[in-house]
Amino acid sequence: MNNQLTHGSITKSLIFFAIPMIIGNLLQQFYNVADTFIVGQFLGSNALAAVGSSFTLMTFLTSVILGLCMGSGILFSMYYGGQQIDKMKTSFFISFIGIMIFTVILEILCLIFIHPILHFMNIPQDIYQQSYDYLFIIFIGFFFTFLYNYFASLLRALGNSKVPLYFLAIATIINIILDVYFIVSFHMRVSGAALATIIAQAVSGFGIMIYVFIKQKDLLPTRQHCYFDKDIIKKIKDYSLLTCIQQSVMNFGILMIQGLVNSFGVITMSAFAAAVKIDSFAYMPVQDFGNAFSTFIAQNQGANLPERIHKGLKSAILISGIFCIFISLIVYIFAPTLMLIFIHPEEVEIIRQGVEYLQIEGMCYLGIGCLFLLYGYYRGVGKPGISVVLTIASLGTRVVLAYIFAPILGTVAIWWAIPIGWFLADTIGIIYGIKKENWTKPSR
């Protein structure tokens, strides 16, 4: 099921490689939404606010692990595209050991410092205990998150985006069933939602690892590949750490915004929690398309095919642009209806604030679509540092504007700060591409 992205129709390769990734992440969002829906309907707005604010922190910490795995995956793609299989096997050995140790240390630190973390997030006292209960269990499951994301990154580097989807689908079904079982039948409250999530993650993590060891054993390192090569260590450090920094900065900025939102009280927190779920569903396809584009670029970079990279950039811009326009119209028009998925119709103020958020973000999805393509391109050509710069520009602008103007203008300042950050980063990335990457000149 491996797929070389270095030949054949570019548009077809991009679309068919991206579709399983998009479906997979939509499923991942869906089982997060399952938590939100069941918690909101059966446990009330306080529990929803606790899970929503905890989800932001969980996403930030998970992004650290995800960034390390994604960075290694880009390096795997380059070696695979250039048919440097021995180097790929050695990089697998080094990165697996390194990221696994890091994950275990992160998990232990989070469990030790959970109270200071919650205080940093400005969690209100009336939902503090529920937030603690939820996060404590989620932190225990970080190792399973590592297993799934590491082996999924390896398979995607080989052009196989279908198998990670299959295991994610299994996890989604398990998560939804256990959510109902633990919360509705056993009355375990938010702890039940967290437990359902980590059990599902464990199944997908161990499942995909076993698959790789059985079906892809010819690409796994043998004893002769298990050594610490200085050049490969440097490349893993450059790719994984910079991608990790990018993901961390991205989600730290989101965490800072969550802290500001929390200062407006439980009503705004509930509106934000529900609206962000919808927002994530809306732009998730272009985020995954950007990641798929990154693998396409990396394989062709490894195979030294600059003309195919240039054509791929044009195709990606067209595909992403069409989708962003379509989803912008859907979110803007149907924002009130979408909020009713999570919020009871009687919660008028929560719905009003959520609709306001969705309509502002919905008008600007072209900005985030462009930004994800820029991230994917620069990671794929071996310049993850540029992606970090763009992320800092986007999130830095968002946080600064939100914290300056929210006390004056209210929550609407937070909502507008987000797309302003997108468009500023887009401008920087495009100017750099034109001047340094010669985008306006066809590659030969």
DSSP string, 71-115: HHHHHHHHHHHTT-HHHHHHHHHHHHHHHHHHHHHHHHHHHHTHH
pLDDT for 258 equals: 85
**pLDDT tens for the chain, residues 1 to 444:** 556 788 888 999 999 999 998 888 878 777 767 777 788 888 887 888 888 778 777 877 888 888 889 889 988 988 888 888 898 899 999 999 999 999 999 999 999 999 999 988 888 888 899 999 999 999 999 999 999 999 999 999 888 999 999 999 999 899 889 988 998 888 888 899 899 989 999 999 999 999 999 998 888 888 888 889 888 888 888 888 888 888 778 777 887 898 899 889 889 988 998 898 899 889 989 999 999 999 999 999 888 888 899 999 999 999 999 999 999 999 999 999 999 988 888 889 999 999 999 999 999 999 999 999 999 999 999 898 999 999 999 999 999 999 999 999 999 999 999 999 999 999 999 999 998 887 866 554
In a domain, 425, yes or no: yes
pLDDT for 281 equals: 85
**Torsional class of 442: left (φ above 0), alpha (ψ -120 to 50), beta (otherwise):** beta
In a domain, 1, yes or no: no
pLDDT for 444 equals: 46
In a domain, 3, yes or no: no
In a domain, 443, yes or no: no
In a domain, 209, yes or no: yes
In a domain, 158, yes or no: yes
pLDDT for 227 equals: 87
pLDDT for 198 equals: 93
pLDDT for 436 equals: 86
pLDDT for 355 equals: 96
In a domain, 2, yes or no: no
Nearest in space to 299 (alpha carbons), one of 10, 23, 101 = 10
Domain that residue 147 falls in: 10-436
Output the pTM of the full model: 0.82
**Count of domains for the chain:** 1
* DSSP class of 222: -
In a domain, 411, yes or no: yes
